[in-house]
């Protein structure tokens, strides 16, 4: 009886040892799988965050947005504006603004047609195209018909570059004053239009005028 009891105890002990080993193996495998999936999860999340961070940096230099980006955001905001949201005076201000930009563009085009692609006219005329495009975007946004350029072919260019540069000086001073003295106060409650007008005024006063004064 004693030997039989010992054999039974040995079998029971071996069974428990086997179960313990099996549990250890299965548990170890589960922990390994879990740690591997967790590592992959955090790797994926880190990669996503990295891509997002790089993308956000790529939108501007030193984390700052330039004036053009700001204007683009104002013109492409989701809210749909209509002509009914714009006062008659604000509509007239848009028309006056694009008419003056048309005049500047046509003046510089006349100079280029006569004197060739001379600087700074060859550079500034491209800026004038961008100014006109910004204003046209506002016309489209508010559902207003875009006026045609009635200045094309009506301006006579000076004979010399010096005279042409003086014409440029006069045009940019008049353009900046148009915004500063007349138009900005009219659209002070229309933040998108005001931002564009400020952008164009600063370009005329701080960049174009300076360029024409240097060549004069």
- Tens digits of residue pLDDT in 10-32: 555 455 555 544 545 444 444 34
Nearest alpha-carbon partner for 124 in 139, 112, 137, 136: 112
Q: Name the one residue in this structure whose structure tokens are 């933040």.
A: 191
Rounded distance between C-alpha atoms, residue 47 and residue 104, angstroms: 50
CB 128 within 8 A of CB 101: yes
DSSP code of residue 119: T
SS3 for 216?
coil
Rounded distance between C-alpha atoms, residue 62 and residue 60, angstroms: 6
What's the token pair of residue 110?
A: 């006349």
CB 202 within 8 A of CB 78: no
Q: Which residue has the higher pLDDT, 95 or 22?
A: 95
What's the token pair of residue 80?
A: 């749909």
Q: Is the pLDDT of residue 213 over 50?
A: yes
CB 215 within 8 A of CB 161: yes
**pLDDT tens digits, 116-144:** 999 999 999 999 999 999 999 999 999 99
């Amino acid at each position: 009886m004693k030997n039989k009891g010992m054999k039974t105890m040995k079998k029971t002990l071996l069974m428990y040892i086997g179960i313990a080993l099996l549990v250890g193996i299965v548990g170890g495998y589960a922990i390994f799988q879990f740690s591997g999936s967790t590592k992959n999860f955090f790797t994926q999340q880190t990669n996503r965050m990295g891509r997002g961070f790089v993308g956000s940096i790529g939108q501007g230099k030193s984390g700052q947005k330039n004036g053009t980006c700001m204007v683009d955001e104002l013109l492409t905001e989701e809210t749909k504006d209509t002509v009914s949201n714009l006062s008659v005076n604000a509509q007239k201000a848009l028309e006056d603004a694009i008419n003056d930009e048309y005049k500047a563009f046509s003046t510089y085009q006349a100079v280029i047609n006569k004197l060739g692609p001379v600087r700074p006219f060859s550079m500034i005329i491209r800026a004038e195209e961008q100014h006109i495009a910004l204003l046209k975007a506002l016309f489209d946004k508010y559902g207003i018909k875009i006026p045609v350029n009635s200045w094309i072919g009506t301006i006579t260019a000076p004979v010399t570059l010096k005279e042409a540069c003086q014409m440029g000086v006069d045009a940019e001073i008049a353009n900046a004053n148009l915004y500063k003295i007349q138009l900005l106060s009219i659209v002070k409650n229309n933040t998108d239009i005001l931002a564009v007008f400020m952008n164009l005024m600063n370009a005329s006063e701080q960049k174009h005028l300076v360029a024409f004064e240097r060549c004069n």
